[in-house]
Structure 1
Amino acid sequence: MPADDCGHHLEPAPGERSALDLASGELFVLAALRAWVAPLRDPEGTHPDWRALFRMAGVAADAAQGFDQLMGIVARSAIRLLDVRCCRCPGLGADEEALLRITGALQAGEALSALEELTDWLPQAALVPALQGAQRFATLTAAAGLRLPSGPSPAQPPPADAGRVLH
């Protein structure tokens, strides 16, 4: 199977959900996540401006601040490497699926479900501020009409050779 310049296949791996299967709210969250992480993956590269995605989608600047708060905490405090793919990768990583679940849960008022997901990423001391940022992001994203489903979404563990990392 052909691969892109990051070494990812041009089609999702078996068992992975394709970005093409995402609804608009999910696609927005995925794009924001990948654009935020892109400079960490490749500091010398040219990357999309994640803040511009919020403006183009009509999402309030406060949502971008909440997202940046969440992601900054994750980048500084993650207890493990996270599976976040490059902007062009067609398949979703397990932690990308987790962020979709976190956002959907918070939009549905299910903070405990979101907190459970975050405990897989963060130490206890970082959970409350991360959840606060995620809540602001989720609430204002929903207010902009970008609602995500709550509940489980298909997720696969990252492949053993996953070279996609946030931290």
Structure 2
Amino acid sequence: MEITVGLEPWSEGDFWLLLRKNEPAMTEHLGGPETRAKLEDRHRRYLALSAREPAAGRMFRVVADGESVGSVGFWERVWQDEEVYEAGWGILPEFQGRGLAAEAARALIAHAGVHGTRRHLHAFPAVDHPASAAVCRAAGFVLRGEIQFEYPPGQWHASGDWRAVLGGGDGA
């Protein structure tokens, strides 16, 4: 049975999702759980991002067959002297392993390709996080190599530099 995955713009009522995604199992590769104050700040940033013009980026709640299962989004950044978008996602543990993150990432690539102004979308999963690398591969990102990436601020780790070409192309 095929699952229908949709993206709903981040809204005021989605804070609960940040609380759920703040569990240790969900933050192991992101520097660990954050304080409630940091989550509230993140929620405000997600709301502000989604209130701006779509080309600046957007955060979404991922919905599968009518049920909220996680989040996905993209935002502006400069990477290696190029203005690009960066992508991030997280699917709640009880929904993982079903291809939902890859489907959401494909939908995000399509959205950014239509509404965005930048040519490339990057994702930077830690090299010791094979599930995120698998999502990148399944969603159509191409691995450009291993890099040192800072996230959260002050914490450097080995990451893959995955890139998707927006508006068509082969990701190279």
Same fold per superposition (TM over 0.5): no
Q: Which of structures 1 and 2 has the larger relative contact order (alpha carbons within 8 angstroms, sep 6+)?
A: 1
* TM-score, structure 2 normalization: 0.29
Greater helix proportion: 1
Question: How high is the TM-score relative to the length of structure 1?
Answer: 0.30
